[in-house]
Amino acid sequence: MTSEKPTMIEFKDVHKYYGDYHALRGITAKIRAGEFFSLLGPSGCGKTTLLRTIAGFEGISSGVVMIDGKDMEGVPANVRPTNMVFQSYAIFPHLTVAQNVGFGLRKDPRSKAEKAQAVAEALDMVGLNGYGDRAAHALSGGQRQRVALARALILKPKVLLLDEPLSALDKKMREQMQLELIKLQRQVGITFILVTHDQEEALVMSDRIAVMFEGEVAQLDDPETLYRRPNSRKVADFIGTMNFLPAKILSESGEKVEVEAEGFGKITLNAEQVSGANSGAASIGFRPETLTILFEGQTAADRESMATVEEVVYYGDMTYYDIKLDGTTETMRLSMRNVFGRPVLDIGTRTRVAWSSGALVLFR
Amino acid sequence: MRGGWFRVYTIVYLIFLYAPIILLPIFAFNNATTVAFPLVGFTTEWFGQLWTEPALHKALKNSLIIAISSAILATSFGIFAARASTRYRFPFKAPLMGLIMLPLVLPEVIVAVALLAVLLGMGLNLSIFTVILGHVLICTPFAIAILTSAFQSLDQSLEEASYDLGESAVSTFRLVILPLVMPGIISALLITFTISLDEFIIAFFLAGNENTLPVYILGQFRFPQNVPVIMALGTILVCLSIALLATAEYFRRRGIAKTGGKDTGGFL
Ligand SMILES: Nc1ncnc2c1ncn2[C@@H]1O[C@H](COP(=O)(O)OP(=O)(O)OP(=O)(O)O)[C@@H](O)[C@H]1O
Ligand SMILES: [Mg+2]
């Protein structure tokens, strides 16, 4: 259903060199119109570089960048249908808030009064009603952020580019702005492209995420697929926490793969649970919340194993356990929602844990 | 004890530095033709005499023309150089910038003699234009130093934001860069103006038959009866210089505060 949305941005085998340094290594991807898209990856992987090739601040060495069906080769930044919210916000310090927001309207043929109206509406949209006459250099970080948003959105771009817009805010402000940005994006319907190195932020905010490593897109999927079916151990490691157990593939027959994993024994997996991109030894991966401690009288819906508690980290609503499954050498992370009346286990406790073969991923 | 010695040292140092300058106004208002204590009485006669010296007026006019022209030229060159050195990368940048800044430390008398030789060799007549030439040469490094600090405190993403919002390179320069470095430009204009106005050696070598103010002042010391008038003139010049430098520093600091940068230079 969502795949029927038209394409807004298309990268075709985009390469970018800084001198000898190969910063973008063959990016091919499509970003759909109206979606909240994130570029996620560790520092230096080329997220900002890719974003700047869309804005037109950075030329590409080879390949094609298309916006709304048009090849952007040779199109300068000031005529591209994109606007950017800079990491430093780039608020013009010599202008007032209203002058900043109205900066892009200089060549707009509308009357002065209509432009002032547009500025007021834009300020209203980002919750800065009545701030128009303030000096821009006297604003807080969160307020600058909003001014930058209003200044970009007032031009009704086809694409809004955001380069780590929340990284300068404190945790509480950041979480609030995340929700506001999502709401804003739904309200205006513009394609948002967000650069972030914070996987949680990307999962919370995005319709789809491109995970980048070293100038390449490793996986492009919606947050749930990315979390549940990472296509490589590297992606799995970068998004959330994933436990890995050494495994051996016993047999493959069409839709089914039979595996022997340390601590789990023999398991039968569906073909869709196999991430084949990796070379090297096979391993079974699972998220901490897919393992459950079984208390007196509880039985596993699918399978169960014995384990020893090695470490307990209590978080109030959650408890994280490091456990060692019988027959394994490495500790696994397990997370449990705390329920009233049920004890938190002590270090050293022997316990049964439930797991389900459907929640496992095979990397090979 | 240590603090005590430092205090004495500081006071002696300040007296040494400023006592001669304080003597200027004292003798400018002293009712005697000789510059000597004890003071005789109060007069404004010497200031009055300033108005009746055509040679002084000519020298002043020359100096103003030279100083204003040199300031504008040096600051314009400074803008280009500072912009280039802070924003663009080009081959041999460091040695080039070093060469441009060199007149800052070259002995002026060398610069003056070298220029004189070249100008005479080219068969050019010495005039206030040749002085302007020399002054632009020594003022430009000062302008570059001030303007580089102004351009450096300018966040590059401000320029990109302006392009992003639809402006061209030219309109971005006018709407964003120029207003933000304007305090630096004003400060550079004022300081180069002051340097040119005070400059003696190059003016002395390159002015030909013309006089500039400093050259005129030195000439007047041949006539002892004129010394109190020079004291009066000196008083006015000191006040003017202080006012100009203070204004320049005010603009430089305001510029840095405006762009939210760190203070990394300046002369005061
Ligand atoms: N102008 C440039 N000249 C040379 N190398 C550059 C330039 N800009 C970026 N790079 C290099 O390209 C690589 C990718 O940079 P980029 O800024 O895109 O990373 P990023 O993913 O945004 O990282 P971060 O999370 O740290 O912002 C880095 O190794 C960086 O050093
Ligand atoms: Mg970046």
Q: Is the pLDDT of residue B256 over 80?
A: no
Quick one: pLDDT at residue B268?
A: 45
Ramachandran region, residue A240 (left: φ > 0; alpha: ψ -120 to 50; beta: rest): left
Task: Return the CATH number at A309.
Answer: 2.40.50.140
CA distance A120 to A132: 8
A47 CA → ligand 2 middle, Å: 6
Q: Is residue A204 part of a domain?
A: yes
Average pLDDT over residues B237-242: 86
In the beta sheet, which residues pair with residue A210? A39, A220
pLDDT class for B226, splitting at 50, 70, 90?
Answer: confident
Q: Is residue B2 part of a domain?
A: no
Considering the domain architecture, whether residues A254 and A268 belong to the same structural domain is answered as yes
Considering the domain architecture, whether residues A33 and A160 belong to the same structural domain is answered as yes
The domain boundary, picked from A212, A228, A244, lies at: A228
DSSP A68: T
Using CB atoms, pick whichever of B160, B166, B168 lies closest to residue A104.
B166
A93–B260 C-beta distance less than 8 A: yes
Q: State whether residue A90 sits within 8 Å of chain B by CB.
A: yes
Average pLDDT over residues B87-99: 84
Q: Is the pLDDT of residue B78 over 70?
A: yes
Within its chain, how far is the Cα of A3 from the centroid?
19
Phi–psi pair at B53, nearest 5 degrees = -115, 95
Angstroms from B157 CA to nearest CA on chain A: 6
Considering the domain architecture, whether residues A172 and A39 belong to the same structural domain is answered as yes
Quick one: pLDDT at residue B153?
A: 83
Considering the domain architecture, whether residues A193 and A132 belong to the same structural domain is answered as yes
A104–B168 C-beta distance less than 8 A: no
Quick check: B150 and B265 in contact, CB under 8 A? no
Quick check: B143 and B186 in contact, CB under 8 A? no
Please give the tally of structural domains in chain A: 2
Write out chain B residues lying below 8 Å of A79, CB-based. 166
Q: Is residue A190 part of a domain?
A: yes
Residues with CB under 5 A from ligand 2 (ion): A 48
Considering the domain architecture, whether residues A75 and A132 belong to the same structural domain is answered as yes
pLDDT class for B72, splitting at 50, 70, 90?
Answer: very high
Q: State whether residue B166 sits within 8 Å of chain A by CB.
A: yes
A57–B259 C-beta distance less than 8 A: no
Angstroms from A77 CA to nearest CA on chain B: 6
Q: Is residue B108 part of a domain?
A: yes
User: Mean pLDDT of all residues in chain B?
Assistant: 86
Q: What is the largest CA-CA distance in chain B?
A: 72
Using CB atoms, pick whichever of B165, B166, B180 lies closest to residue A94.
B180
In the beta sheet, which residues pair with residue A221? A209
pLDDT class for B2, splitting at 50, 70, 90?
Answer: low
Q: Is residue A2 part of a domain?
A: no
Phi–psi pair at A316, nearest 5 degrees = 90, -80
Task: Return the CATH number at B164.
Answer: 1.10.3720.10
Q: 């190195």: which residue's tokens? A: A197
Considering the domain architecture, whether residues A109 and A38 belong to the same structural domain is answered as yes
Query: Ligand 1, atom 20: nearest CA belongs to which residue?
Result: A44
The domain boundary, picked from A207, A228, A249, lies at: A228
User: Which of B248, B252, B220 is closest to B234 using CA atoms?
Assistant: B220
Q: Is residue A1 part of a domain?
A: no
Considering the domain architecture, whether residues A214 and A140 belong to the same structural domain is answered as yes
Quick check: B192 and B66 in contact, CB under 8 A? no
CB-based contacts of A311: which residues, under 8 Å, 6+ apart?
A321, A322, A331, A347
SS3 track for chain B: CHHHHHHHHHHHHHHHHHHHHHHHHHHHCECCCCCCCCCCCECCHHHHHHHHCHHHHHHHHHHHHHHHHHHHHHHHHHHHHHHHHHHCCCCCHHHHHHHHHHHHCCCHHHHHHHHHHHHHHCCCCCCHHHHHHHHHHHHHHHHHHHHHHHHHCCCHHHHHHHHHCCCCHHHHHHHHHHHHHHHHHHHHHHHHHHHHHHCCHHHHHHCCCCCCHHHHHHHHCCCHHHHHHHHHHHHHHHHHHHHHHHHHHHHHHHHHHHHCCCCCCCCC
Q: Is the pLDDT of residue B1 over 80?
A: no
Quick check: A309 and A347 in contact, CB under 8 A? yes
The dihedral formed by the CA atoms of A51, A55, A57 and A60, expressed in degrees to the nearest 10: 70
A165 CA → ligand 2 middle, Å: 10
Q: Is residue B130 part of a domain?
A: yes
CA distance B166 to B172: 9
User: Which of B250, B154, B253, B151 is closest to A92 using CA atoms?
Assistant: B154
CA distance A299 to A137: 62
Please give the tally of structural domains in chain B: 1
Considering the domain architecture, whether residues A11 and A135 belong to the same structural domain is answered as yes
Of ligand 1's listed atoms, the one at least distance from the Cα of A197 is: 25
**Residue A360 burial by Cβ neighbours in a 10 Å radius (0-12, 13-18, 19+):** buried
Considering the domain architecture, whether residues A166 and A108 belong to the same structural domain is answered as yes
Considering the domain architecture, whether residues A218 and A242 belong to the same structural domain is answered as no
Quick one: pLDDT at residue A326?
A: 92
Average pLDDT over residues B156-181: 93
Q: Is residue B172 part of a domain?
A: yes
Interface predicted TM-score (ipTM)? 0.83
Angstroms from B77 CA to nearest CA on chain A: 25
Considering the domain architecture, whether residues A125 and A144 belong to the same structural domain is answered as yes
Task: Return the CATH number at A139.
Answer: 3.40.50.300
The domain boundary, picked from A172, A202, A228, lies at: A228
Of ligand 1's listed atoms, the one at least distance from the Cα of A58 is: 1
CB-based contacts of A157: which residues, under 8 Å, 6+ apart?
A81, A82, A83, A190
Nearest CA in chain B to A155: B165
| Residue A192: domain span | 7-228
CA distance B119 to B128: 13
CA distance A354 to A253: 27
SS3 label, residue A240: coil
Average pLDDT over residues B241-266: 70
Considering the domain architecture, whether residues A111 and A208 belong to the same structural domain is answered as yes
User: For every one of its 364 residues, what pLDDT tens digit does chain A have, with 9 covering 90 and above?
Assistant: 455 689 999 999 999 999 999 999 999 999 999 999 999 999 999 999 999 999 999 999 999 999 999 999 999 999 999 999 998 899 998 899 999 999 999 988 999 999 999 999 999 988 899 898 988 888 888 899 899 999 999 999 999 999 999 888 888 888 988 999 999 999 999 999 999 999 999 999 999 999 999 999 999 999 999 999 998 889 999 999 999 999 998 888 878 899 999 888 899 999 888 886 556 788 999 999 999 999 888 888 889 999 999 999 999 899 999 999 998 998 999 999 998 888 889 999 999 999 999 999 999 8
| Residue B77: domain span | 56-259
Quick one: pLDDT at residue B260?
A: 54
B179–A86 C-beta distance less than 8 A: no
